[in-house]
């Protein structure tokens, strides 16, 4: 089966396509919010204003209670904007490319003529993923590759 291709996230210029996409993705977002609230036993409130300033809302419980809880919350907490998501997505893309390069490296090493004269019992690749919080407070995924070759 073919995987879905990652689309570039930019404003949809065609009004009709934009409206259809909004409706579908709004439903998908609300469904994901419902699933997250049930699976993880958390309270969720979504507030959406479309381009015509029409309000759409979803709350896992009572919206007013969740919003009151939000306004009274004084502790430090995670807060994200569009630019944060773009930055985190770029870090994730970089991490995935690094992992693919590591797999390609091991594959090429195992098939290279230099190693063909020897029996490679196994090629063990350990991809360690660690999540780091950078100075700019974005979360970056770092990949470390360890290759162990055993021959005889």
**Residue-level pLDDT at 124:** 47
Condensed to tens digits (0 to 9), the pLDDT of residues 75-97 reads 988 888 888 777 877 776 666 66
Residues linked to residue 123 through DSSP beta bridges, in sequence order: 149
Phi first, then psi: what are they for 96, rounded to 5°?
Answer: -65, -40
Residue found by looking up tokens 């939000």 in the block: 70
What is the value of pTM for the model shown? 0.56
pLDDT of residue 1: 53
Q: Please report the DSSP string for 1-64 in residue order.
A: -PPPPPPP-----SHHHHHHHHHHHHHHHHHHHHHHHHHHT---EEEEE-TT--EEEEESS-HH
Q: Which stretches of the chain score pLDDT less than 70? A: 1-3, 92-152
Q: What is the pLDDT of residue 132?
A: 53
CA dist 131 and 128 (Å) reads 10
The CATH homologous superfamily of the domain defined by 10-77: Transcription factor, MADS-box (3.40.1810.10)
Residues whose CB falls within 8 Å of the CB of residue 58, separated by 6 or more in sequence, listed in order: 30, 33, 34, 44, 45, 46
């Amino acid at each position: 089966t073919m995987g879905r291709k990652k689309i570039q996230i930019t404003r949809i210029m065609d009004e009709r396509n934009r409206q259809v996409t909004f409706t579908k993705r709004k439903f998908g977002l609300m469904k994901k919010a419902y699933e997250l609230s049930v699976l993880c036993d958390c309270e969720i409130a979504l507030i959406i204003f479309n381009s015509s300033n029409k309000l759409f809302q979803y709350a896992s419980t009572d919206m007013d209670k969740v919003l009151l809880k939000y306004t009274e919350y004084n502790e430090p907490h995670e807060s994200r904007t569009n630019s944060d998501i773009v930055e985190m997505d770029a870090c994730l893309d970089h991490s995935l490319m690094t992992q693919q390069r590591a797999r390609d490296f091991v594959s090429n090493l195992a098939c290279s003529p230099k190693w063909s004269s020897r029996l490679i019992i196994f090629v063990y690749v350990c991809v360690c993923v660690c999540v780091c919080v950078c100075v700019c407070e974005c979360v970056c995924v770092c990949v470390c590759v360890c290759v162990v070759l055993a021959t005889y």
